[in-house]
Amino acid sequence: MTEGDVENIERATVAAVSPEAVVELDGWLLPFDSGTIGRATSAVPLRHRAVAPSSIREIESLYQARGLPAVFRLATHVCFDTARQELGRLGYKAQRPTQVQVAAAQNVCQVSDQSPAQLAGAPDEAWAALFLGEGFDPVDGANRVRALSRAEGSLYASVRDGGQTVAAGAAAFSHGWASVHGMRTAQACRGRGLAGRVLAGIAHAAMQKGIEQMFLQVEEGNLAARALYLRAGFRPAWTYEYWRKT
């Protein structure tokens, strides 16, 4: 994983969740958003290099000026030890360890032996309804639908059963990568391989666009999703944590 790969993935990550505003500052990308998606509301360094502790206070003040809490998304690499110490001194705590995983699109195509999910250039009501269904936080779901729907150039994957969307996801294509977001399966339909069909559909779309690399992000505690992604050929590239005041 080169420095260029890291920067491209971070830029593509923020673009996919379409925050209300984005600012660059001394090697950091600062997305500003009033929603609930962590990647749309947290400052992230574009390279895995040591950062000046003074930049943390400056970033904090920029979020405060917009009436938003400052949140920092930092890889667990040693190079950020000084930044983590400064965050701890300021009262921040690490939460939600999350893996960035990467895979070759041609491998992900083979994760399912069923027909791939259908993809559309815009989300429809059935796609959005899945995020508000049983087993999902409706406030977070509404925020994700809104953010993912306004991302430019994204495609929206659906597996349908009887007119209803029973599995869904979103695919973004940016900075040489295809990325997977918003993976959802209806509670009553889990265990049927539907999420694999979503991944396969997104991978096919990536290859049609000439994009060979894919990435996604998954919380370390989500063992079921991690098992699926492992079968699909995804491997961890790095782990990050959200640093926020509690």
Check residue 209 and give its pLDDT: 97
Residue 240 contacts residue 74 (beta carbons within 8 Å): yes
Which pLDDT value is given to residue 133? 81
* Domain segments of the chain as ranges: 3-99, 103-237
**Side chain identity, residue 49:** R
Give the rounded distance of the alpha carbon of 49 from its chain centre. 22
CA atoms within 13 A on the CB side of 240: 25
CATH code that applies to domain 103-237:
3.40.630.30
Q: How far apart are CA 164 and CA 143, in angstroms?
A: 21
pLDDT tens digit string along 79-98?
A: 999 999 999 999 999 999 99
Contact (Cβ atoms closer than 8 angstroms) between residue 139 and residue 35: no
Specify which residues 190 forms β-bridges with.
Answer: none
The whole-number pLDDT of residue 163 equals 82
Q: What are the per-10-residue average pLDDT scores of the chain (246 residues)?
A: 96 96 96 95 97 95 97 98 97 98 98 96 93 84 91 95 93 97 93 96 98 98 96 98 94
Cα 218 to Cα 10, 28, 92: the distances in Å are 15, 22, 22
